[in-house]
Structure 1
Amino acid sequence: MASSQLRRAVASRKLVRVGRSPRNADRVDGYVVAVGSKWALIAQVGDGGFFEGLVAVRVKDVVKVRTDRSFAGRFARTRPEWPPTAPPGLDLDTTAGLIAGLSAISPLVGIEQERRFHTEMSWIGVVHEVARPWLWLREVRPDATWCKRPHGYRLRHITQVFVDDRYLTGLAAIAGTSPRH
C-alpha cells in the first residue's frame, strides 16, 4: 500500500506529507522524486515551501501519504530548484547503494536510527566505508570537530538518510568538508 501511494505521489508531482512508523518518527514534507523496492527519495520542503535537501525513508516504514494543499506547495513551484529530481543512477533498492550514491553528491551524510534507544537519533559525518553489513561514518561532533575514528552502524537499522539540507551545508562550512586524520 505505501509503495503504491509513494509511486502515485511521484506521478502527481504534488507536495505530500509522509507519515512513518514508529509513532515518534518525524513526518517528512516534500515531493517524492523516486521510489525503489526499499527506499523512497523525497525532496524535502521546509516552512514556507523552501527546499531543504533530499531525504530517503524506508518504504516499509511509511504508513500514510497525504497531499498537502498549503501555500508551501504553490511557493515551491516558484523556486529555482523546481522541479525536484532524483540524482541519476541512485540505488533505492539497497541501503549500501543508497548511502554510496548520496555520499557521492554531498560531503556530509546524515543517518537516523529511530528505533535505537527508543527515540530518534541522528548522526552526521563523512562516509568512511560501506562494508556490509556496516556503514562506517567519520562523524562530526556537535562542536563541529571530527571524531578520531569512524563509528559503525548496521545498515539494516538505518531508517532515514538525508543530504544537502541547510543544516548539513552550514556544518560542512564550519567543520570543513573532510575529516582531519
Structure 2
Amino acid sequence: MAKTKPEISHELGSALADQFPIRVYRRRKWEFDRIWGYVIGLSHEWVALQQLSDGVYVDGVTVVRILDVFDVEDLEENRYIERAVKVLGRPDSNFQLGPDATTRDVLSSASRHGKMLGVRFEADSDDPLMIGRVTGFGERKFEMMLINAAGVWATTPTREWYGDVTQVFVGDRYSTALARFGDSYPLSP
C-alpha cells in the first residue's frame, strides 16, 4: 500500500535531520523512477536531494515534487554507502529550499545554484526533459533558453507552465558538461 503524503513528508524530514542516505521512488514508470541521495531541503511541495549516481558518487542536486513520491527507503543501515561517500567526497551544497517553496522558487534557486539546469515535464509532455537557463519568470509561466545534446543553443527562449514541472536538477555531470563545453551562451552581454 502506498504511503500518504504526510508519511512521506515525515520520512523525508527524518532523512533531512539525520543526514542518512535514502532512495526515493516516484509514482510513474518514468526513465528515472528511483533517486538515491541525501535530503538537503524540504518544503510542503518539494524535496531537494543531493543525488547519488551509481549509489556513491554525488552528482548535483535534484528537486522532485513530493506529490509524485510514493515511497522512501531508508538506506541508513547500508554503511557501505556512507563509507564510500565519505571517502569519495560529499561537497557542501548551498542549495536553498524554503518551507513554502513554489515551483517558481525551485527554478529560481536552481538558477542561482548553477549555470545550467534541467527541467522535467514527465506528466504531459512529448519532450519531457529540457536543459538550459531560465531567462524570465512570469506569473504562471517561465522562459528558458534551451541547449541541445550537441551543445547548440536555441535561438529564442521557450515558455513553459510552472504546473507542468515534475523535477528540476542542477550541478549534475551532464548539464555541467553542456555548460562547460557547449556553444557560448547567446544572451551573454
RMSD: 2.1
Alignment check: 8 A CA contact 1:33 1:86 kept = no
The equivalent residue for 1:19 is 25
Match of 1:9 in 2: 15
Find the partner of 2:110 among 102, 106, 118.
102
Question: Counterpart in 2 of 1:34?
Answer: 41
Q: 1:105–1:85: structure 2 CA closer, same or farther, 3 Å change rule?
A: closer
Instruction: Give the TM-score normalised by the residue count of structure 2.
Output: 0.85
Q: CA deviation at 1:70?
A: 6.4
Residue 153 in 1 paired to residue 134 in 2?
Answer: no
Q: Which runs of 5+ in 1 are unaligned?
A: none
Q: Secondary structure at the match of 2:130?
A: strand
How far apart, in 2, do the equivalents of 1:17 and 1:176 lie? 35
Equivalent pairs counted in the alignment come to 178
Deviations 1:136-170 (A, max 9, x none): 11000121110011111110110000000011111
Q: Output the TM-score relative to the length of structure 1.
A: 0.89
Q: CA offset at residue 180 of structure 1?
A: 4.8
Superposition misfits of 4+ residues, deviation over 4 angstroms: none
CA distance in structure 1 between the aligned counterparts of 2:151 and 2:29, rounded to whole angstroms = 31
Other structure's SS at 1:78 match: helix
Q: Secondary structure at the match of 1:116?
A: coil
Kindly state the Cα deviation for residue 132 of structure 1 after the two structures are TM-superposed.
2.1
- Which amino acid is the alignment partner of residue 174 of structure 2? Y
Q: Which runs of 5+ in 2 are unaligned?
A: 1-6
Whole-Å separation in 2 of the counterparts to 1:29 and 1:48: 7
| Residues in 1 aligned to 2:94 and 2:9: alpha-carbon distance in whole angstroms | 17
